Structure 1
Amino acid sequence: MATPLEYSLRLLSNLSESAIAERLQLRDTIQQLVYKGTREGARVGKTFQRRFKDIQNLVPGQTLQKQTSSPSSLFDLNPTEEQQMLQEMLKSFATDVMRPHAEESEKQGRPSKDYFHQLQELGLPLLAIPEALGGAGQHRTPLTSALLAESLSYGDMGLALASLSTLGFINAVTEYGSLEQQGRYLPALAKDEPLYASLALMEPKLRFTTDHMATIATPTGQGFLLKGEKNLVVLHDLADVFLVFAECPGHGPRAFFVEANTPGVHLEAESTMGLQNAALGRLRFQDVALPKDALLGEGNPYHHPSLVDLSKIGLCALAVGPCRAILEYVIDYCNARVAFGEPISHKQAVAFMIAEMAIELEGMQLLTLRAASRAEQGLDFHKEAYLAHIQCIDKGMQIGTNGVQLLGGAGFVCDHPIERWYRQIRAIGVLQGSLPV
């Protein structure tokens, strides 16, 4: 079974041989990272050999489980070496591939086939799928998933949401799905021509809450009868399978596998303020008959609040990326914009505003990583996820607003990406259940 370091090296080696590495002029950099990682692997090899006996008693057939490091009161902000390698690779992808695609994909209302092809070369779903099921994963790592979301959303939040929709589905299935369900869906998502998947939690009703839904899955003799409507579903007309959350009488909210071609499932595009390139839309379910094994986990325990909290962490990570992009953009703009004989960044009012944006951004990232870290350690993380979500909703909008304001009239027009990032950040306050880490 591949370790995280081995997976990173394999991913980077494959990427160095791809056309995208040549196009982005990353081949030499990636090969240097592979060399450095190989040298590090040799250094720790003896340590792994000494501890090999500790893992010989694992139960055969186990699938991906959450990585549970020893709970600690210490909070280390430094990513591991393999996480750093992935972040550097994804940041290059975000700036060199995602940003050039962002404007046109927003006009088209979906990512292009060319973008999906380049995304597939990264092999991100393999990171979350167990090796036994066609992937290269060893542990469920919410912290790594959060870092991936942050790195990709630095390029464009809408494209990041579309890119990671399938990964969110995989995380939910590996966390709560039965062995049979994991074997049914995960290998198909690891293929060279994979399926696309999405989660459907939001509903178009006043004062919607995630703990009580209008969509109903009524038990029948053969399974369940699904009725209701979901909105703001990512890749609504591109996904092959959905994980739909519905109220199950007597059991509360549960999740159900619903394939897009199931009779009674109707798709409808949705016009939104931002995130148009995530292909958001509605799903309507008119007496959709589902088999018994469509219930996520079947007889396994399922904890709906935890999945919602994991999704909040994913959304917070998505918010950090564009906020960092806004901060960097306004710093460059204010340093270059000259008024009254000097850059406007020399004005205290401007400098203080930029400094405040940087402080709030660090707070957003800190709370998000803290919540993800506790989830990874197997500790309770409900409070941390809530605090991170509130911080990102409030301060994310503040950073976006100040970014537009610092550009003056230029921030209002579409010549600069600030207005798009501002509209996308607004979704953090209304979008839930799309990306559990």
Structure 2
Amino acid sequence: MRRPPRPVDLPGTTCTSDFPTWGLSGMSGRNRRGRDVMGVGLAALNRLAGVSVIDRLGLRRQTEKAVYEASRAGFRTVAAANRTFAKAPGRGAGKRPSTATGSGLFDLTPTDEQKMFVEATSEFAAEQLRPVAADADAECAAPDTVLKRSVTELGLAQLTVPESLGGMASERSVTTGALVAEALAHGDMGLAVACLAPAAVANALVLWGDESQQQTYLPAFVGDDVPAAALCVLEPRPLFDPFDLRTTARETPDGYVLDGVKSLVPRAASAELFVVAAALEGTPALFVLESGTTGITVESEPAMGLRAAATSRVLLDGVTVPKAALLGAAAADVYADCIRLSRIGWASLACGTGKAVLDYVIPYVNERKAFGEPISNRQAVAFMVANIGIELEGARLTTLRAAARAEQGRSFAREAALARRLTAEYGMQIGSNGVQLLGGHGYVKEHPVERWYRDLRAAAVMEGAVLV
């Protein structure tokens, strides 16, 4: 009896967008020649895999493996070859943001402008992020419409760009960035990271880029077609220390040569610009890399959480960049501030998602009945909810204090470390308690707390990616 052909299942894929979506998200109307050539080759391999004679010859497994390897290599090449940073026309001279003036009082009451930003961001998170979060988590990709609206409606990348270059910043406002990150994460942390990733690169250029770097790259971040970009710090090894980098930069007469691997980089498959952390003569430094540079390869790396951020690995193999690619003249305080500001960003994201957990479990425990009464009447339940609120408030105040000191140009190393410590420990605990309070419901995808639990664990391990 003739056996009908069956579709090829690519082995090793755990997410629907591991490879195929790269060819779509990374094009954006640019050169598709590489994709077309690859498409013809893959089509031929798939037709071969559908021929029933390979089953009679016992070659089914070898053929499927060939299709898988070809698709893996093909999409990896297309991802690197078809993304080129498009420079926007310059708007004016580069400028460092001035530090905010402080009243000398510990007052974290948002200004009217900050209230406006937070209100708009909260509305966007509730109406745009929350409804699509589950699908984005399953597909390992943020919807293009959401990413576009985060630019056109919120202008996230423009918040820190100086007015002289078309942005909205007249002075440095780390607190505003922290509040915006918190409000976005209340909708979904993975989508928030996807939306904030380009702003991290823009922020790094504003804070540490020279005038030439700012004029070259920042104008692209103030229009309606903001390029995907990412801050790459984390490396794929246990107990990663951001001040002990294995990615290296070697100085040459014409510039630098970078080698290494960066892990869990958001939207890397479609990114046009990277800011990469690498050790230059043993000192951590930041470099600006355009994605079309020879030697940059991207591999999909879906993780336990933040799946909507479409995280990937970025492999650097002999990547040559000019002298002008170095940010901040490799000053030690530049890289240290980058790590601290990134940690404030992650603490803010954790606070936003933790607040989402609290807002979800309170009505649940009040409405859910057992033995004829709401489960919130039980002390164990009430105390667990109260602990979530207590730890969340403490972590949030510490995070905002670190942000306030940073924007005033004061030392914030201690406060940033405390914020990181609190949100790393209690963020995971809040997520775990949220699942526990929902019982069996907390373990299923019908309720979002299982996704928030997975996302909150990222606060303890992530470095870079966001920057406030």
* TM class, shorter-length: 0.7 to 0.9
> Structure 2, unaligned stretches of length 5 or more?
1-91
Query: What SS is found at the alignment partner of 1:212?
Result: coil
Q: Which moved more, 1:135-144 or 1:364-373?
A: 135-144
- Alignment match, 1:87: 118
- Alignment match, 1:395: 426
Instruction: Determine if the alignment matches structure 1 residue 322 to structure 2 residue 331.
Output: no
Q: Which amino acid aligns with 2:274?
A: F
- Alignment match, 1:136: 168
Distance 2:191 2:272 in 1: 18
Q: Which moved more, 1:336-345 or 1:366-375?
A: 336-345
Preserved CA contact (<8 Å) 2:368 2:374: yes
- Alignment match, 2:259: 227
- Alignment match, 2:275: 243
- Alpha-carbon spacing, 1:236–1:329, altered in 2? closer, same or farther (3 Å): same
Preserved CA contact (<8 Å) 2:267 2:311: yes
Q: Which amino acid aligns with 2:223?
A: K
How many angstroms does 1:120 deviate by?
A: 2.2
**Alignment equivalent of 2:131, drawn from 97, 100, 104:** 100
Distance 2:98 2:251 in 1: 31
Query: What SS is found at the alignment partner of 1:65?
Result: coil
Q: TM-score, normalised by structure 2?
A: 0.78
> Structure 1, unaligned stretches of length 5 or more?
1-59
Q: Looking at CA atoms only, which structure, 1 or 2, has the larger radius of gyration?
A: 2
Q: Which amino acid aligns with 1:354?
A: V
Distance 2:238 2:367 in 1: 46
Instruction: Determine if the alignment matches structure 1 residue 385 to structure 2 residue 453.
Output: no
Query: What SS is found at the alignment partner of 1:218?
Result: strand
Instruction: Determine if the alignment matches structure 1 residue 212 to structure 2 residue 244.
Output: yes
- Alignment match, 1:32: none
**Alignment equivalent of 1:406, drawn from 419, 427, 437:** 437
Instruction: Determine if the alignment matches structure 1 residue 158 to structure 2 residue 186.
Output: no
Distance 1:207 1:358 in 2: 30
Query: What SS is found at the alignment partner of 1:128?
Result: coil
- Alpha-carbon spacing, 1:65–1:301, altered in 2? closer, same or farther (3 Å): farther
Deviation per CA, 1:294-323: give whole Å up to 9, x if none.
111348785211111111100000000110
Distance 1:226 1:181 in 2: 19
Instruction: Determine if the alignment matches structure 1 residue 354 to structure 2 residue 375.
Output: no
Superposition RMSD on alpha carbons, in Å? 1.5
Distance 1:420 1:404 in 2: 10
Query: What SS is found at the alignment partner of 2:328?
Result: coil
Count residues in correspondence.
376
Distance 1:301 1:397 in 2: 31
Preserved CA contact (<8 Å) 1:91 1:151: yes
Instruction: Determine if the alignment matches structure 1 residue 308 to structure 2 residue 367.
Output: no
**Alignment equivalent of 2:142, drawn from 92, 111, 117:** 111
- Alpha-carbon spacing, 1:301–1:332, altered in 2? closer, same or farther (3 Å): same
Distance 2:211 2:136 in 1: 37
**Alignment equivalent of 1:373, drawn from 404, 409, 418:** 404
Preserved CA contact (<8 Å) 1:327 1:354: yes
- Alignment match, 2:450: 419
Distance 2:239 2:429 in 1: 24
User: What percentage of aligned pairs have identical amino acids?
Assistant: 44
Q: Which amino acid aligns with 1:246?
A: A
Instruction: Determine if the alignment matches structure 1 residue 283 to structure 2 residue 314.
Output: yes
Query: What SS is found at the alignment partner of 1:289?
Result: strand
Preserved CA contact (<8 Å) 1:176 1:302: no
Q: Which amino acid aligns with 1:427?
A: A
